[in-house]
Amino acid sequence: MNTTPPTDCRAWTRIAAHAETWKHARIDELLQNDPARTTAFVAEGAGLKLDYSRQRLGGLTLGLLAQLLQERGFEDWCGALLEGRVVNPTENRPAWHTALRAGETAPEEVKATLARMAQLADGMAGIRRIVNLGIGGSDLGPRLVYGALRAQRIREARFVASPDPAALAGALEGAEPDSTLFVVVSKTFTSAETLANAEAAKRWGGKRLIAVSNNVEAARRFGAAEVLPLPEWVGGRYSLWSAAGFSAFAALGAERFGELLAGARDMDQHFASAPPQRNLPVLMALIGIWNVNFLGCGTHAVLPYAHALRLLPAHLQQLEMESNGKRVDHRGSELAYATAPVVWGAEGTPSQHSFHQLLHQGTQVVPVDFIDPGLEALLSANARAQADALALGTQDPSLPPQRRHPGNRPCSILSMPGLGARALGALLAAWEHKVFTQGVLWNIDSFDQWGVELGKQMANERLKENR
């Protein structure tokens, strides 16, 4: 597979030259001069709709970015991802999360685990509360899914990641040992924080404890009554579709979880088959590359206009920044170009009365993704008004400078058909494919995370010294 730097590609040089001609482009003029833009710069896939007409780019920009994809050998990389070949060379592993939601065509081990998850959930009549103990990818994805679909829950779930005892204490308020199931999720079964919480759960009197892990032996030694397997070929931040999502599965029910998987599968099929310029996650990736590498934007905000999606930015932070926060390429050479932006955000609407001031008038240009499931007229009106205010601004010379809005701040609106499990699955899978596509373009390993190791090691040394 192609591991040459993107900067060696002819398309990269052409995009850089093209970017010069876009320096003074204005989004309001683009929209005025081309009324078809609001329908042409829209992509649909798996029920989602991406309106990127308020981005500072044109058709030629996307054509050149698509050429870059081709020169980088994107098709080969994509085939490797979807067929479960090694795409994480530093750990010599596939990243085969798409197999977890492949339905009928999923590997037997995936089907067997899903069947066991359903059996376990069926046998949980006396369980009133599930407490998920996990951190990073063993927490954020399932926590988000449960939080987003909580209105449809069949039992309560709580999620504990922090080893601060206050976190577990909060999750156990009002709980009884007999009706509480602890689900210890740790791929490695070595994360100090998760193990500390699992020990604390035992001290509290927790009697019912199962584990989800790739390290079955360690989980059994710990005393888990059952260990649901987590395949080695699934990365933590891509694992919510696996048994790592068991807490969400058992709290929402197998049917809801099945819909989540089906939505992700819809998106996988769209990603695998749509041409780049109509491929929703690929377009999200190309737009991101354009904003980071050619327009010089170092951060990216994600604003979901739904209270139920308030944890989305935290999940996407891990997905993007742990995957693509890298400074060397596949060959180990230091990069001469930027990779993942700082991803941040919060629930839209409350955020308007807080940090949007900076988005509208600050000195940094922050591209924004507005996520709109269309739940309430006020929410959608707000999302769309914010997008227009950022992109168009005000050109009224009678206003004092302090009250002027410069506009020309790029943003996209990602619309979802409501907030059902299927739409959520499609949304999360779209983001995974965006991240993968950017990793291919940046020539980096999106599936390792060596940067988190040094701090863990140093903390362990300190703990040993203090004992």
Piece of 36-44, 75-83, 182-190, 254-262 that binds ligand F6P (CB under 6 A): 182-190
Q: Would you call 223 helix, strand, or coil by DSSP?
A: coil
Question: CB burial class (10 A; 0-12, 13-18, 19+) of residue 338?
Answer: middle
Shortest distance (Å) from residue 322 CB to ligand F6P: 6
Which residues, in sequence order, are CB contacts of 185 under 8 Å at separation 6+?
132, 133, 134, 138, 139, 142, 194, 211, 212, 213, 244, 246, 247
Piece of 184-192, 262-270, 306-314, 349-357 that binds ligand F6P (CB under 6 A): 184-192
Piece of 57-65, 134-142, 147-155, 388-396 that binds ligand F6P (CB under 6 A): 134-142
Shortest distance (Å) from residue 32 CB to ligand F6P: 46
If one counts every other C-beta atom within 10 angstroms of the C-beta of residue 90, the result is 13
Give dist(CA 438, CA 463) in Å, integer: 38
Closest CA to 242 of 99, 108, 82, 80: 99
Give dist(CA 305, CA 420) in Å, integer: 15
The reply to whether 315 sits near ligand F6P by the rule CB under 6 A is no
187/270 with CB nearer ligand F6P: 187
Give dist(CA 186, CA 214) in Å, integer: 8
Compute CA 466 distance to the chain's CA centroid, rounded to the nearest angstrom.
Answer: 37
The reply to whether 330 sits near ligand F6P by the rule CB under 6 A is no
Shortest distance (Å) from residue 232 CB to ligand F6P: 11
DSSP 329-370: -TTSPBPSS--SPEEEE--TTGGGGTTHHHHHHSSS---EEE
10/221 with CB nearer ligand F6P: 221
Shortest distance (Å) from residue 237 CB to ligand F6P: 6
Shortest distance (Å) from residue 158 CB to ligand F6P: 18
Near ligand F6P in 431-450, by CB under 6 A: 449
Shortest distance (Å) from residue 39 CB to ligand F6P: 40
Instruction: Kindly tell me which residue out of 110, 135, 201, 426 binds ligand F6P, with binding defined by CB under 6 A.
Output: 135
How many residues bind ligand F6P, per CB under 6 A?
14
Instruction: Kindly tell me which residue out of 452, 458, 459, 463 binds ligand F6P, with binding defined by CB under 6 A.
Output: 452
Instruction: Kindly tell me which residue out of 113, 132, 180, 191 binds ligand F6P, with binding defined by CB under 6 A.
Output: 191
Give dist(CA 271, CA 248) in Å, integer: 25
274/316 with CB nearer ligand F6P: 316
The reply to whether 187 sits near ligand F6P by the rule CB under 6 A is yes
Q: Are the C-beta atoms of 262 and 230 separated by less than 8 Å? A: no
CA count, 13 A, side-chain hemisphere, 337: 23
Using CA atoms, how far residue 413 sits from 10, 348, 390, in Å, is: 31, 12, 12
Q: Are the C-beta atoms of 49 and 430 separated by less than 8 Å? A: no
Give dist(CA 198, CA 175) in Å, integer: 16
The reply to whether 186 sits near ligand F6P by the rule CB under 6 A is yes
Shortest distance (Å) from residue 235 CB to ligand F6P: 7
Site mask, ligand F6P, residues 225-264, x = CB under 6 A?
A: -----------xx---------------------------
Q: Are the C-beta atoms of 16 and 6 separated by less than 8 Å? A: no
Residues with active-site annotation: 322, 353, 456
Give dist(CA 467, CA 367) in Å, integer: 47
The reply to whether 460 sits near ligand F6P by the rule CB under 6 A is no
Instruction: Kindly tell me which residue out of 53, 55, 113, 138 binds ligand F6P, with binding defined by CB under 6 A.
Output: 138
Piece of 45-53, 129-137, 249-257, 269-277 that binds ligand F6P (CB under 6 A): 129-137
Instruction: Kindly tell me which residue out of 61, 194, 279, 443 binds ligand F6P, with binding defined by CB under 6 A.
Output: 194
The identity of residue 155, as a single letter, is R
Shortest distance (Å) from residue 431 CB to ligand F6P: 16
Residues binding ligand F6P (CB under 6 A) = 135-138, 186-188, 191, 194, 236-237, 322, 449, 452
